[in-house]
Amino acid sequence: MILSKGDETSLTPPPAPIPRSVKPEARAKLRFEVKGNAIVTGGAGSLGFAAAKALLEHGLNGLMIFDVNPAEAEVKIEELQKEFPDAKIGFQKIDITNDLAVAKGVGETAKLLGSIDVVLCFAGVVGCEHAIDMTAAQWRRTLDINTTGSFFVAQAAAKQMKAQGTGGSIVFTASISGHRVNYPQPQISYNVSKAALLTLKNGLAAEWARYGIRVNSISPGYADTILNEGDGIAEARAIWADRNPTGRMAAPQELTGAVVLLSSSAGTYMNGADIVVDGGQIVF
């Protein structure tokens, strides 16, 4: 493994200081500026969409959403394009477990937008099967999408970033489920898939730093999204809230601060980090 030298000849030099002539309000804006273009997998979902919108709010020039749901994605893209008319926003239907499709999609995105500078991996699935009854297919599906799919996206993006010579930021969506066992639902395959992402993040952060690529993750707690809706999990929702110091689940926009930090100018010395955003639930 080769590490970066960290000097001015490397791709990980210290950031240039903001000139004192810049007014405080402008300095604050520059501190959390998101530059270039991004790919967001699962961008049509609640969390991915909120994160993509936040990046656009902080200066992102171009956005490509990877998702398997064209109908939902088209509605979300139309909404974003109206709010951010100067940004170039697109969609590709991609199964992230298909490495060839991912590589092709990343290449086409780079050609269309000009570069790839930020990647957010939000595509994922949840499985709540008891370990003793789980089938091989159920186990493999969760690991293939959540872990292997995230690696395929990161790998293809890293190759592009390396070719650009500009570095970039890759953010995995891990989970508090990767840190400890959930209750009351059984979801061993999901927990393993997210714990694996934490280790994957560490290894890639070390290997790819010399290319100027930072690899980090966020670990959300239970969020109030479509995955956690329905009368069938009402009891579980009540337990999650009762066991949380904050007393509730997260709203999707409450995860965007961590995403912006890791993707922006403010996060240039953050590499291999995991940010837990769970209202304090993980303390128990």
Tell me which residues of the chain have a pLDDT lower than 50: none
Beta-carbon contacts of residue 136 (< 8 Å; ≥ 6 apart) = none
- What pLDDT score does 241 carry? 85
- What pLDDT score does 237 carry? 80
Q: Which of 217, 227, 182, 180 is nearest to 197 (CA)?
A: 217
- Domain definitions of the chain by residue range: 30-283
Residue 194 annotated among the catalytic residues of the structure:
yes
pLDDT in tens, 163-176: 999 999 999 999 99
Q: Which of 270, 171, 226 is nearest to 44 (CA)?
A: 226
Q: CB of 29 within 8 A of CB of 78?
A: no
Alpha helices in the chain (DSSP H): 24-31, 46-57, 70-83, 99-113, 136-143, 149-164, 188-208, 234-242, 256-263
The catalytically annotated residue of 53, 76, 194, 201 is: 194
> Domain 30-283, what fold?
Rossmann fold (3.40.50)
The catalytically annotated residue of 46, 150, 175, 264 is: 175
- What pLDDT score does 234 carry? 78
Full-prediction pTM beyond 0.85?
Answer: yes
Q: Which of 68, 87, 177 is nearest to 127 (CA)?
A: 177
Residue 23 annotated among the catalytic residues of the structure:
no
